Chain A
Amino acid sequence: MNLLDPQGPVAAANSTILVDSVFIMLAIVVPTIVAILAFAFWFRASNPKANFQPDFVYSGRVEMVVWAIPALTVILLGGVAWIGSHQLDPAAPVPGTGSPVRIQAVSLDWKWLFIYPDQRIATVNMLTVPAGAELNIQLTSSSVMNTFFIPQLGSMIYTMNGMVTKLNLRADNEGKLKGLSAHFSGDGFPDMMFDVNVISPLSFPDWVATTAKTDAVLNEDSYKKLMQQGIEKGRPTYRLEDPRLFDLIATQHIPPGPGPQLASEAGRSQSGGHDAR
């Protein structure tokens, strides 16, 4: 999950900006730290060779320089930020080979549902994508906020109930990656890590065909069961009955997840906790 080992163009660009920014800043940070330690050491009271200058309290030239150094650095970095923000806008397209794959991600309490509307399938806690293709991801949440993040593919984004956020990514190399939720969402939060399988574009249709053969069907009813609080250790897959399911969730035609189902406790609500364990 190393951020500096990107597996797609977005992550590569993100981490390049990250590393470049660090080096731009180190160029002034390191000399400053050295100067702090050197001045502190040299001008120690016990050093008879140090020149005591109690009247050195203002110097226009020094002031000029100390305002200029951080200002110039920030101008440079500001440029990086401006250009980077526009090029790496999560909603900006990331051209790839072959036709783009549409994915609709829904954060549930406490698992990820990935809907492939065009392929009419859905998976939980496992995202399978073809290498090299543009991934158009739409995201929403069934209940509380979460953040969708695959560190080695780059750019995370929030999921919120009743709203749709957009993220475009591309995975360049076949292999297995990890994704997670990066916004705390309750007791089962740490179990929201999911697998990302990047497979070859040739085998992707096969995977879709195999997955579509499953008996499990995702429709409003089974979705409502799925969105109950709980963690999912397995990797269930579904045939998608209604390709508009995501829209029904995002527009709240399906009401938000219910949260912990209260037994009769007054003060200490522990139902969530039991689920998580």
Chain B
Amino acid sequence: MLGKLDWSAIPFDQPIPLIAGGVVLAGILAVLIWVVVKGHLPYLWHEWITSVDHKRIGAMYILLASVMLLRGGSDAIMMRIQQAIAYQSQGYLPPEHYNQIFSAHGTIMIFFVAMPFVIGLMNLVVPLQLGVRDVAFPTLNSVGFWLTATGALLVNLSLVIGEFARTGWLAFPPLSELSYSPGVGVDYYAWSLQISGVGTLVAGINLVTTVLKLRTKGMNYLRMPMFCWTTLASNLLIVAAFPILTATLAMLLLDRYLGFHFFTNEAGGNVMMFMNLIWAWGHPEVYILVLPAFGIYSEVVSTFSSKPLFGYRSMVLATMAICIISFMVWLHHFFTMGAGPDVNAIFGIASMIIAVPTGVKIYNWLFTMYGGRIRFATPMLWSVGFMVTFIIGGLTGVLVAVPPADFMLHNSMFLVAHFHNVIIGGVLFAAFAGFEYWFPKAFGFRLDERWGKVGFWFTFVGFWVTFMPLYIVGMLGMTRRMQHYDVAEWRPWMLVAAFGMLLLTIGVLAQITQVVVSVRNRDALRDRTGDPWDGRSLEWATSSPPPVFNFAFYPDVRGEDAYWALKQHAKEQQLGDHPGPEYQDIEMPRNSPTGFVCAFFATVMGFALIWHIWWMVILGGVGAFATFVVFAWRDHDEYVIPAAEVERIDRINIEERRSLVSMAGAV
């Protein structure tokens, strides 16, 4: 009846996951009860859960990423403490627990923090920057988000029911095959990623289509803001690479469930095939994350330097070059597998070539600052912090692309330090910069600058204190994923790294405080202009938060930095009366519970697959499919906002801006 599931799945003998799970469960229950008692449930259902508004979905993606950041961060803290104390001892985490933690940490940070964070920001911002009213497939967008949430839920479920993979975040066979990992851990891993992978793929298709097909009048490709370009490149990579991940994991699952032999030791299975396939996805994945990050920095550096982006066309070229080359370098993840020198050298050089367009980007940001009038608001601090940090990460990255150097550094703590250097210093800093930068647009008030800066400095310094020691122990021969060790010379550095983790934790707490303080002071921090940073692209042309239809009229774009040009034009015209064409009815997509219901069934199906509860698998599968069918048979999928209502909303916005401008004029 319940497949492999019974009471032994709950780890009653292990206090740490049980208490952690209990606290989280209590927290979720408390929030749910509060929501129901206060009568917020209809609001949540109508305005958020079933919403197909790209801004709402973007915000939910970012919320999901933030919550999962806390989970992945807790894992990181536990690992740093373990390695700080496990010198000539077992520490406080037995191997079967420690191994789950580092596997979950990697999986969560990549798939459920970095990915949803950047996809959330792209969702929130790209349609606004393109001057359009929504993404190409609004309901699909909602489906994508909820499937991602399903994956995150399953990963967290493994904390209290069963176990997570103990194989590392890429679950290399044969270790991840049934003979060596007979538990449900790898199944949790694989099904979470299969389901959320579908979500990511549809998000990718959606955003590619949006950028290619939905642009306002005059928004040529070469007038698009840099963030739209990097979104395009990143989502092209998603569309090309995620099917590889899905296929690879499907093969692993066939091995585990149906006795196939793709990657087993026996019957001609080939583990090297898995290595190639997973990295054929895995390397583009790195650029899927970092390209949007580059886009965010481009927007932030240009805005806060009060200058257009330097060398825009060069940046576009660099972005697309990275997009293409990133598919041709996967082999550098296993130089040490014994491929010949020609193969290693060619892939090593190909990997270095990526550093050229990346270097160009750094220099173009540098020259964007040159001759600028730089305001050091929090997003700009993150950006300058990124530039300094990322160069070092790039240096160590090119270093491990040199095969003979990689022969000593592969899989070492040096490598761990390198990819944290580029992912924290590149992607996470960008996520935070983008969060600070676009938060006023999403919610209508700015974030508290003082706490934001505290958060930045603790995170920035904490990053260096945590990861420089890891570079050093890597040079001292320490490899990754060690639950304990006996080498005395590593010990002091692990203690320093643990202290750095404390600083990082304070940084995160400061950012949480920042949000709380800002919500309390939201009236004082209110953004009435819709343009709190003196921005340059179209998202700042509408109110904060934007009306559901984003723009009453499709903006007419006449060059790069579309909104900046509009503002200059308005100044020259002395803010003449809004001549205003006639307001017209606007059709917007109807809310739909399709995404939520579909994800509900996907969760049921995923859970049942993990535990071999076959009747439930069928129930979930049929349910999810039926949801699609019902949606496909819909008659009305749009509703009309009457012209009068559009006019009313738009007039309020215009009045607000005008009164502010006249006040500014009076001062």
Contact = CB atoms under 8 A, between A and B. Distances in A.
Given A156-B407, A256-B174, 5 more contacts: A25-B398, A158-B334, A162-B265, A267-B8, A269-B163
Contacts of B230: none
Contact of B405 (A17, A59, A69): A17
B376 interface: yes
Contacts of A86: 341-342, 345
Interface stretch (A46-54, A128-136, A208-216): A46-54
A202 interface: no
Interface in B95-116: 95-96, 99
Contact of B8 (A18, A33, A265): A265
A2 B476 contact: yes
Nearest to B389: A33
B486 A193 contact: yes
A151 B374 contact: no
Nearest to B311: A63
Nearest to B358: A70
A81 B174 CA distance: 31
B423 to A, nearest CB: 19
A2 B180 contact: no
A258 B161 CA distance: 26
A190 B485 CA distance: 7
A29 B355 CA distance: 12
Given A2-B475, A190-B482, A268 B404 contact: no
Interface stretch (B31-39, B210-218, B359-367, B459-467): B359-367
A14 B404 contact: yes
A178 B487 contact: yes
Contact of A32 (B99, B391, B485): B391
Contacts of A260: 180, 182
Given A36-B387, A40-B384, A78-B349, A256 B266 contact: yes
A143 B4 CA distance: 26
Interface stretch (A87-95, A98-106, A112-120, A238-246): A87-95
A141 to B, nearest CB: 9
7 contacts: A33-B388, A53-B307, A78-B353, A87-B404, A166-B338, A184-B167, A262-B182
B374 A3 contact: no
A77 B487 CA distance: 33
Contacts of A248: none
Given A21-B402, A190-B483, A266-B4, A158 B337 contact: yes
B96 A44 contact: no
B411 A21 contact: no
A156 B367 contact: no
Interface in A9-65: 11, 13-15, 17-18, 21-22, 25-26, 29, 32-33, 35-37, 39-40, 43-45, 50-54, 56-59, 62-63, 65
Nearest to B391: A29
Nearest to B175: A144
A266 B8 contact: yes
Contact of A1 (B362, B407, B489): B489
Contacts of A273: 94-96
B269 to A, nearest CB: 9
B487 A25 contact: no
B306 interface: yes
Contacts of B341: 85-86, 89, 92
Contacts of A189: 95, 481-483
B581 interface: no
B407 A155 contact: yes
Contacts of B265: 143, 161-162, 252, 256
A55 B146 CA distance: 45
Contacts, number: 329
A11 B162 CA distance: 44
Residue of B312, B352, B355, B477 ringed by the most chain A CB atoms within 10 A: B477
A4 B184 CA distance: 42
A267 B4 contact: yes
B408 A259 contact: no
B546 interface: no
Contacts of B344: 85, 89
A183 interface: yes
Nearest to B356: A70
Interface range, B side: 35 or more
B9 interface: yes
B399 A18 contact: yes
Contacts of A182: 410-412, 479
Interface in B143-189: 161-163, 166-168, 172, 174-175, 179-184
**Considering residues B181, B373, B487, which has the most beta carbons from chain A within 10 angstroms of its beta carbon?**
B373
A156 B403 contact: no
A51 B336 CA distance: 52
A132 to B, nearest CB: 22
Contacts of B387: 36
Contacts of B8: 265-268
A266 B9 contact: yes
B49 to A, nearest CB: 31
A32 B366 contact: yes
A142 B387 CA distance: 46
Contacts of B433: none
A182 B622 CA distance: 45
Nearest to B359: A70
A226 interface: no
A186 B166 contact: yes
Contacts of B308: 54, 57
B370 A267 contact: no
A144 B167 CA distance: 11
Given A29-B391, A43-B372, A267-B9, A90 B338 contact: yes
A270 interface: yes
Given A156-B336, A162-B265, A84 B402 contact: yes
A213 B482 CA distance: 36
Contact of B305 (A43, A63, A163, A276): A43
Quick one: which of A22, A40, A52, A255 has the most chain B CB within 10 A?
A: A40
Contacts of B372: 43, 52, 54
Interface in A131-182: 143-145, 147, 149, 151-152, 154-158, 160-163, 165-166, 178, 180-182
A267 B163 contact: yes
Contacts of A65: 363
Contacts of A73: 355, 359
Contacts of B312: 57-58
Contacts of B271: 145, 160-161
A26 B396 CA distance: 10
Contacts of A90: 336, 338, 407
B373 A52 contact: yes
A151 B166 contact: no
Contacts of A54: 306-308, 371-372
A255 B266 CA distance: 8
Nearest to A53: B371
A181 B477 CA distance: 11
Contacts of A11: 408
B21 interface: no
B11, B312, B370, B483: which has the most chain A beta carbons within 10 Å? Answer: B370
A154 B409 CA distance: 10
A181 B479 contact: yes
